[in-house]
Amino acid sequence: MSGRLVNILDGNTFVVSDESGDVEANLTDPTGLFSFDTRFLSTWVLTVNGERLNPLSVDDLHYFETRFFLVPGTGTVYVDSKQSITRVRRVTAGFHEEITIMNHDSVPAELRVRLEAGSDFADLFEVKDALAKQGTYSARVEANRLVLRYERDTFWRETAVTPDQPAAIDEHGLTFDVRIPPHGSWRVAVDVDTSIPVLPGRRGRSRDAMERGLERWIAGAPKLDCDWEPLAATYQRSLVDLAALRFSPPIAGGLRHNLPAAGLPWFMTMFGRDSILTSLQALPFLPELAETTLQALGDWQGIQRDDFRDEDPGRILHELRYGELTAFEERPHSPYYGAADATPLFVVLLDEYERWSGDRRLVRELEPEARAALRWIDEYADLQGNGYISYKRRNEETGLENQCWKDSWDSISYSDGTLPGFPRATCELQGYAYDAKVRAARMAREIWHDPDFADQLEREAAALKRRFNKDFWLDDRGYYALALDADGRQVDALSSNIGHLLWSGIVEKSKARSIAKHLLGPRLFSGWGVRTLAEGEGRYNPVGYHVGTVWPFDNSFIAWGLRRYGFKHEAAQIAAGILDAAVFFDGRLPEAFGGYERSATKYPVQYPTACSPQAWSSGAPLLLLRTMLGLEPNSDHLQVDPALPVGIGHLALLDVPGRWGKFDAFGRGTVRVNGRTGLRQQLAAASR
């Protein structure tokens, strides 16, 4: 499908169409109506008198609603049309679409309106990997509705298409023969409902309820006041996108609140890593995400050894799926546990959540889960018996090779570009383990009333830090190795992972300046942000998924790390680059963008198949606001220590929620006057 794609979504139901509102998906296109990882419509085409319609404009009314303005005919020369058509589409448990045809002529119009409907019921994994189906399809016409069905053994999914006007219905769609008086109009509303047997009675919310829900969500978040206008737009966009990605999966426990789905189109489900990191980014703004994420991930914590799912006792899940391949255990996502970072990060989030919210109840409630997670670090994750977390999949067929956030096949390499064997102990995992132990020690001492356990954790953390700074440090280059390989040898590529080490606190003070210099140096810093892999490394590629692109989420945690070690201005420089980039994406940061030098391209080059919106990219501006203002909970107070990039003169965040109630944070910075006019004012450009 060519041209711009239009998305609407609500939680894990979404519709991707062309600018006419039509869908004509082939197997590998991620277009159509999707819900719970299954495509429920792959064909949805509107014609009038056999003609396709031309888009005049598309209004994105809300994240869950779009309006298409169309005229008949597909000619290249525009001729005044006698009719115009609008389609207003809103996501429900499927979608609701209202089609209105206006007759602008002085004579009646006799029209045949046709809606072609079909579904391949593809599992999202089949779309991603272009796999063939094994079940059977059928279609049946019932009293004024068309039902499309797919079944395989006891598994079935159905799509029902129901118009509110009489229609001639066949197995491939609906036909309306209409007569519209001069200057009159005709309308029909069509409901597309999706049925999943194990999730009966899913209903979409009404339009009003969705609008009110969004208003409440925005109203509950702190207000931003800033003299650099693009930031307000980016902030608003982030809040709305996080609302759109909210997800209350019934099979994940029917909890009180929502947790973030990871991102459109491939990752509209619960991910351990993504949900935790997004919740961390959003803590000062939308703390309820953290609460739900912790509870849901706790309920799904691994309790046994299961090689197919790479499950261990205490391990936090990686990914939970609902589609056909998962149902038939042709994929292990029920759930799949192959992440080496989610488990220590679960403990990190629990502590950070309490430091902000003061919610000791949840820390007490999740004590068994936190202890099981800590046991996993020591007993199950230390595959080499050397005291480090490492990973090697036990599901060789469909498990993940790289179980860190850079999970593509070539993400972990030596400087010369060769790939290490398994197990691999990437550096940031050790940082997370250290942080988890330090934070758990605080919880053990203050909340679980177990000072012996606290002492033990602190001893272990200190020992880990000492060993790590010896074993991972590349003395001649002044940075930490990306990983240790199966022989304990250093995987020596320079990567953004060293920024996560600052965030974790595992970096010895004497080494921090050298790390900061590398992060902001020419090999890693593109001007927009820190590249995943440094220029000059064997596998560096500015449009390589994890080997040279810039990831906004990655940068937000690097900025947090820089702040932790006192590098305020360096953190502000990263914030400036990423926030500048956001302006080029209308405030919606993609998953990743190209690692090209800023001065060479002038604008950030979007990575070709990047997911958008993506939860942790939407969360990045929130965490950058936190780092720019230097927000830090300090017992019952919120500490503020601003360091703003040049170009922001004034930044206020009002009503920051936390254990202090609500608190206003203010920052002042410098603005260069008499700058060149006529250019979009960019932050990092001003300071470079």
Residue ranges binding other proteins (CB under 8 A): 153-156, 197-198, 200, 250-255, 298-300, 303-304, 306-309, 322-323, 326-329, 334-335, 365, 368
- How far apart CA 326 and CA 230 sit, in angstroms, is 42
Cβ closest to other proteins, residue 36 vs residue 186? 36
How many residues are present in the chain? 688
Quick check: 404 and 435 in contact, CB under 8 A? no
* 257: Cβ contacts below 8 Å, ≥ 6 apart: 248, 288, 289, 291, 292
- How far apart CA 273 and CA 410 sit, in angstroms, is 20
Cβ closest to other proteins, residue 199 vs residue 447? 199
- How far apart CA 214 and CA 246 sit, in angstroms, is 11
CA distances from 395 to 269, 303, 308, 399 (A): 21, 17, 5, 5
Task: Provide the minimum distance between the beta carbon of 197 and other proteins in the complex, in angstroms, as a whole number.
Answer: 5
Task: Provide the minimum distance between the beta carbon of 119 and other proteins in the complex, in angstroms, as a whole number.
Answer: 18
C-alpha angle 70/189/250, rounded to 5°? Answer: 110
Task: Provide the minimum distance between the beta carbon of 308 and other proteins in the complex, in angstroms, as a whole number.
Answer: 4
Candidates 565, 632, 589; CA nearest to 230 is 589
Task: Provide the minimum distance between the beta carbon of 52 and other proteins in the complex, in angstroms, as a whole number.
Answer: 37
Task: Provide the minimum distance between the beta carbon of 69 and other proteins in the complex, in angstroms, as a whole number.
Answer: 40
Cβ closest to other proteins, residue 59 vs residue 299? 299
Report residue 426 CA to chain centroid gap: 22
Task: Provide the minimum distance between the beta carbon of 312 and other proteins in the complex, in angstroms, as a whole number.
Answer: 13
Cβ closest to other proteins, residue 121 vs residue 186? 121
Cβ closest to other proteins, residue 104 vs residue 392? 392
Quick check: 632 and 645 in contact, CB under 8 A? no
Cβ closest to other proteins, residue 200 vs residue 678? 200
Cβ closest to other proteins, residue 121 vs residue 176? 121
Cβ closest to other proteins, residue 327 vs residue 683? 327
Cβ closest to other proteins, residue 307 vs residue 379? 307
Task: Provide the minimum distance between the beta carbon of 133 and other proteins in the complex, in angstroms, as a whole number.
Answer: 15
Task: Provide the minimum distance between the beta carbon of 196 and other proteins in the complex, in angstroms, as a whole number.
Answer: 9
Cβ closest to other proteins, residue 281 vs residue 395? 395
Residue whose tokens read 């045949």:
112
Task: Provide the minimum distance between the beta carbon of 394 and other proteins in the complex, in angstroms, as a whole number.
Answer: 11
- How far apart CA 391 and CA 389 sit, in angstroms, is 7
Cβ closest to other proteins, residue 326 vs residue 403? 326
Task: Provide the minimum distance between the beta carbon of 327 and other proteins in the complex, in angstroms, as a whole number.
Answer: 4
- Give the relative orientation of helices 272-282 and 288-299 as an angle to the nearest 10 degrees: 160
State the DSSP string of 461-520: HHHHHHHHHHHTEETTTTEE-SEE-TTS-EE---BTHHHHHHHHT-S-HHHHHHHHHHHT
Cβ closest to other proteins, residue 250 vs residue 478? 250
Sign of CA dihedral 573, 550, 616, 341: negative
- How far apart CA 245 and CA 248 sit, in angstroms, is 10
| C-beta atoms surrounding 44 within 10 Å | 27
Q: Token pair for residue 490?
A: 């250093």
Report residue 677 CA to chain centroid gap: 36
Cis peptide before 423 (omega within 30 of 0): yes
Task: Provide the minimum distance between the beta carbon of 326 and other proteins in the complex, in angstroms, as a whole number.
Answer: 6
Quick check: 366 and 359 in contact, CB under 8 A? no
Task: Provide the minimum distance between the beta carbon of 32 and other proteins in the complex, in angstroms, as a whole number.
Answer: 20
Task: Provide the minimum distance between the beta carbon of 593 and other proteins in the complex, in angstroms, as a whole number.
Answer: 36
- How far apart CA 41 and CA 44 sit, in angstroms, is 7
- How far apart CA 348 and CA 675 sit, in angstroms, is 43
* 364: Cβ contacts below 8 Å, ≥ 6 apart: 447, 448
Candidates 388, 390, 394, 434; CA nearest to 412 is 390
Quick check: 483 and 492 in contact, CB under 8 A? no
| Residue 161 DSSP SS3 | strand
Cβ closest to other proteins, residue 150 vs residue 472? 150
Query: What H or E segment, with its residue span, contains residue 576?
Result: helix 568-584
Task: Provide the minimum distance between the beta carbon of 334 and other proteins in the complex, in angstroms, as a whole number.
Answer: 5
- How far apart CA 161 and CA 174 sit, in angstroms, is 9
Task: Provide the minimum distance between the beta carbon of 303 and other proteins in the complex, in angstroms, as a whole number.
Answer: 6
Cβ closest to other proteins, residue 322 vs residue 551? 322
Report residue 631 CA to chain centroid gap: 24
Cβ closest to other proteins, residue 350 vs residue 578? 350
Task: Provide the minimum distance between the beta carbon of 376 and other proteins in the complex, in angstroms, as a whole number.
Answer: 14
- How far apart CA 7 and CA 577 sit, in angstroms, is 27
Task: Provide the minimum distance between the beta carbon of 258 and other proteins in the complex, in angstroms, as a whole number.
Answer: 14
Candidates 471, 568, 565; CA nearest to 515 is 565
Report residue 279 CA to chain centroid gap: 11
- How far apart CA 267 and CA 614 sit, in angstroms, is 8
Candidates 591, 577, 437, 431; CA nearest to 500 is 431
Cβ closest to other proteins, residue 111 vs residue 297? 297
Cβ closest to other proteins, residue 366 vs residue 498? 366
Half-sphere exposure of 12 (CA within 13 A, CB side): 28
